[in-house]
Structure 1
């Protein structure tokens, strides 16, 4: 299928700072594309360029077969003529307007009187369970209600493209999950084309038909969520999508060796490139791929086992979030509370224990540098996808 929306060579700078760097994107009709990355990677600026709220210095943007921006030919269609819907992080509802007037606003700007007469506002409000709020003002709504109204306003005019700028980040955890599910259901039912910006990997995996993971204004990986989850192309991507555990390895005569001088068999691991003796590599894996044991005798056959010591643990109901140290590195894991509660509560920091994991859970990068500054370890959430 030919892409309905295409971005080519998009470049945006602020002074000498290149925020979006010759970026290419193709967005299919009906696709929900997620731009995922940390603060400062250029994802929101890319979204604002699509919306016409920022003017790039280079490249082009096409909606269907029409160029809405082209630096070479000086085409720059203003935002109000691009037929987009926008859902902001801050809701951005007009405080002096009722919910009905807020949702109706895009229809009035586009002079779609027939849509108003046909009940488009009531229909949009009903889609997000806000039909009973139409006569209220934003100040009379909760944060979740305001964001649902903002979603209705973004969809009411049936725009060519709906842009979401981190719309869930101001909501508490329970409301965030509810509104996320509602957006997902709306997309399944209506089939609108969307670009969604977030730094949250759980949102990205739940919503995206494809993910574009951004780094320093460029796309590091662009693929379906399942492929990104299983095959992160770089250590940066692996760290960002939940592989928070990191082992530095060096290639010795007998194989790969950890900082604790344990020999690790990587014959069943996913190794992106070969490395000769004396070279280094980094293994990435998820906390929920790691098991906790009392001794080496408990390690399943075929697993990689490491001697470690307890750093700390936190109770989470049915599990404990456990941090251990092996060599110079700390690893995170989730231990079943029923099985490990007694032993953990009797333990003290520094007590010896054993951890293990399947070599197939590892993703090994031989082009990484020790303690890579590019890898956003603090943003990887425990447990991978959730």
Structure 2
């Protein structure tokens, strides 16, 4: 595949606030690219610049090797002349139009008369399981049905590029999974080029051929999902993709230790940017990398073992979400209800326990104070997500 869609040196400001900062973004034809990041990182603004809904102050954008925006030469193709499909977070369906007319609206605007007559609307509706809803109005549809109609409208004209602006965030969990699966299947079938904006790591891993993780208007890492998942290039990326557990490490004469004094072997860990003579580092790992033990003697051989105390635990069906504290570090883990349920129900906050992990699960970075890292860490702590099926297979 060739990179026939590209963003080069893009700059977008609101007053003195730089939202997109000298951004380069090659997009391969037929690729499903996900822009991932927290609120305020510039991902939606980048999408709106691609759509022609925002005018950047610098840089260029090209679709299929055709320049559609260039700040230096003054080229700026208006939104209605860019061959794009757009799927919004808020559905954005015309309330006075039937589903049929909503789906067919891009064909009407583009004056694609043959497509209006040749069954393209019915075909698009069929792709998203909405062919039985064509004569209804949006007010007669559920949220999931409305979003599927919005997806059909975005695809009906077979655009060069389909842009998705957090289209699943207004749906409940069950519908979100259903619509996400449908979008993935449609991309597999049709091979359209897409840029999808989300703050949800599970959506990014499930849908993306490549993921661009954004921070302060720049791309922190741009790679395939498997590489992002296994080898995050910075602590910011590690925190955002679910490595919510942070362990502060101190180097002494006998090696690395936690703030509680437990030894940590880094010989099998992925270490990035930690200087040989540095005295502090930050290790990241996922909640499902941690194992819970009644005592240190129960830990598997070769694991790093931490002395800890129980803070809290919450029932989740087949598992418990457990919070422990080890020295200055608060850690989250998911423990099997079948294995640990009886013991946990007899436990109380402050009880002494142990946790352990395989040292190869650690990702280690320079210890830097960063408000953005703290923000994404708090976001990651709101859910203990399992390994995405796409990566587990």
| Superposition pairs of residues 1-386 of structure 1, within 5 angstroms | 1-277=1-277, 279-366=279-366, 368-370=367-369, 372-375=370-373, 376-380=376-380, 381-383=383-385, 385-386=387-388
The Cα offsets for residues 41-65 of structure 1, whole Å up to 9 and x where unpaired, read as: 0000000000000000000000012
| Residues 255-297 of structure 1, C-alpha deviations (whole Å, 9 max, x = no match) | 1121112221111111113434562100000000000011111
SS at match of 1:263: coil
Bigger Cα displacement from structure 2, 126-135 vs 373-382: 373-382
Could you tell me how far 1:199 is from its partner in structure 2? 0.1
Secondary structure at 2:372 match in 1? coil
Q: CA RMSD in A?
A: 1.0
Contact 1:22-1:59 within 8 A present in 2 as well: yes
**1:284–1:364 Cα contact (<8 Å) kept:** yes
Separation in 1 of the partners of 2:270 and 2:386? 17
Contact 1:205/1:385 (8 A) holds in 2? no
1:383: how far off?
3.3
Deviation, structure 1 residue 158: 0.2
- Describe the superposition over 1:337-363 as per-residue Cα deviations: whole angstroms up to 9, x where unpaired: 101011000000000000000000000
Question: Normalising to structure 1: TM-score of the pair?
Answer: 0.98
Runs of 4+ in 1 over 4 A off after TM superposition: none
Q: Matched residue pairs, number?
A: 384
Check whether the contact 2:274–2:281 (CA below 8 A) recurs between aligned residues: no
What is the TM-score with the length of structure 2 in the denominator? Answer: 0.96
Q: Distance in 1 between matches of 2:145 and 2:357?
A: 44
SS of residue paired to 2:180: helix
Whole-angstrom CA distance in 1 between matches of 2:278 and 2:105: 65
CA displacement at 1:184 relative to structure 2:
0.2
Q: Secondary structure at the match of 1:47?
A: helix
Q: What is the rounded CA distance, in whole Å, between the counterparts of 1:235 and 1:318 in structure 2?
A: 31
How far is the alpha carbon of 1:378 from its aligned partner?
1.4
8 A Cα contact 1:245 1:285, kept in partner: yes
For structure 1, the 5+ residue unaligned runs are none
Instruction: Show CA shifts across 1:228-254 (max 9, x none).
Output: 000000000000001000001111111
Distance 1:97 1:296 in 2: 65
The answer to whether the 8 Å contact 1:89/1:170 transfers is yes
Give the unaligned 5+ runs of structure 2: 389-393
SS of residue in 1 equivalent to 2:22: strand
3-state SS of the aligned residue for 1:202?
helix
Assess if the C-alpha contact under 8 Å between 2:31 and 2:192 holds in 1.
Answer: yes
